[in-house]
Amino acid sequence: MIVTQLNLLATGVLQAESVPNDGVGSTSLNPYFAPLKEVVIGGLATLIVFALLWKFAWPAIAKGMSDRTARIQKDLDESAAARKQAETDAAQIRTSLGDVDGERTRLFAEAEAQAAALLEDGRTRLSQEVAEMEAKAEADIAAAAGRGADDLRADIARFSSQAIESSVTSSLDDATQQELIEGFIARVGAGKVVTS
């Protein structure tokens, strides 16, 4: 905007000095070259414009460009970082996937080992319980048999005792009693008795 205004001002000055104002418009005398005065003034004006631009606009432009460069660089850096991060994440994911596979394999192996151990332990415990139950059953059978035998012996002894006493008592008639007494007297007389 400022440059355009300065050019229009310089053009107006030159036109007023080199070409008469006929009321129709600006007219150059040479169709190929501008008047020298106009070139000089135009050049100076241009220089001034460029100087002003260099003095006042360039720092802002340079700053803007620098900022843009920095921003672009920042974006590039961020992109690179993001890519690096993405690659790292991808690597971690791949590693994790690998770890997951390994962990899964390990867990499966551990589970199988535990299952095998449990199965073996169960078999062992079951075998022990079966053995204990068999031993207990055998002991119970033996005890029951023993009790039965003891009861039978006791019954036999009791019935035998009763039978013996009944038989002996019934067979002890008077003659037998006298025989026992005479036998005792004879043995005592012969010194064939034992005292207690």
Partner 1 sequence: MSDAQIQGYARALFEIARADGTLDEVEDELFRFARSYEGSEQLRNTLSDDQIPAEKRQAIIEDLLDGKATRTTTQLVSMVVGSGKARDLPAIVDLLVQRASSAKQLDTAEVRTAVALTADQADRLKAALENATGKRLNLKTIVDPSVVGGVVATVGDDVIDDSVRTRIDQLKARL
Residue 75: exposure state from Cβ atoms within 10 A (0-12, 13-18, ≥19): exposed
157 binds partner 1 (CB under 8 A): yes
Closer to partner 1 by Cβ: residue 130 or 180: 180
H-type helices in the chain, by residue range? 2-18, 36-52, 58-171, 174-189
Part in contact with partner 1 (CB under 8 A); list of ranges 16-24, 78-86, 93-101, 177-185: 177-185
187 binds partner 1 (CB under 8 A): yes
Q: Which of residues 111-150 bind partner 1 (CB under 8 A)?
A: none
191 binds partner 1 (CB under 8 A): yes
Of 58, 45, 39, 55, the residue nearest 6 (C-alpha): 45
Q: Compute the least distance from the CB of residue 162 to partner 1, in Å.
A: 9
Of 147, 123, 143, 146, the residue nearest 135 (C-alpha): 143
Residues that bind partner 1 in the complex, under the rule CB under 8 A: 156-157, 160-161, 164-165, 168-169, 172, 174, 176-178, 180-189, 191, 193-196
